Amino acid sequence: MEQIKTYIDQIAAISKSDWNFFSSKLLRRTIPKKTIFLKINEVENHISFIESGVVRLYIPKENPDKEITFGFSFEDQFISAYDSFLTQKPSLYQLQTLTETSLLSISYKDLQEVYKTTQIGNLIGRLTAERLFLIKSKREQNLLNLTAEERYLKLFKERPELIKIIPLKYISSYIGVTAQALSRIRKRL
């Protein structure tokens, strides 16, 4: 719980009573490595804070080699099929752990209660949503403005530990190239 408290403290000052109410709604979940914990067409009912682990967001395909990985979330970040969470409609993609992952999760219903009951809930919700939007916007801009090689270098400059954790087939999909093209990029570097 200390990690999420530290994260929230960086966003805004939270009263003890608001923290106690919010933290009472959090459920700790430990999810084994390589587990799909939200499947396509399921409604996302949680937003979760990653205490440890790595999660992949992807669009499944009949041929697993054609899956489209479009996001990763790491320790001290929030994870959710956020569009499904907000609309309470079925997700168009899946969430999968790449390592054993520990999450602190809050349900949609409980989060609405936090918004109504606490003074700080709406501010934290808005600021968290803004951070998720900025991550998404940055990725889109990178896809539009950078070459595949530049996207690869930027990814590992920002997150050098990825090469040890994330299979190259997911990285190639994430930066928008085939596994063969990524192999050629890596050989040039």
| Residue 84: half-sphere exposure toward Cβ, Cα within 13 Å | 21
Let me know how long the chain is: 189
SS (HEC) of the chain: CHHHHHHHHHHCCCCHHHHHHHHHCCEEEEECCCCEEECCCCECCEEEEEEECCEEEEECCCCHHHCEEEEEECCCCEECCHHHHHHCCECCCEEEECCCEEEEEEEHHHHHHHHHHCCCHHHHHHHHHHHHHHHHHHHHHHHHHCCHHHHHHHHHHHCCCHHHHCCHHHHHHHHCCCHHHHHHHHHHC
pLDDT of 126 reads 87
pLDDT of 44 reads 97
pLDDT of 165 reads 87
pLDDT of 156 reads 82
pLDDT of 86 reads 93
User: What is the tens place of the pLDDT at every residue in 67-119?
Assistant: 999 989 999 999 999 999 999 999 999 999 999 999 999 999 999 999 999 98
pLDDT of 136 reads 85
User: What is the tens place of the pLDDT at every residue in 1-60?
Assistant: 999 999 999 888 899 999 999 999 999 999 999 999 999 999 999 999 999 999 999 999
Confidence of residue 189 (pLDDT cuts 50, 70, 90): confident
Whole-angstrom distance, CA of residue 78 vs CA of residue 81: 10
User: What is the tens place of the pLDDT at every residue in 122-177?
Assistant: 888 888 888 888 888 988 999 999 999 999 999 888 888 777 789 999 999 999 99
pLDDT of 64 reads 87
pLDDT of 173 reads 92
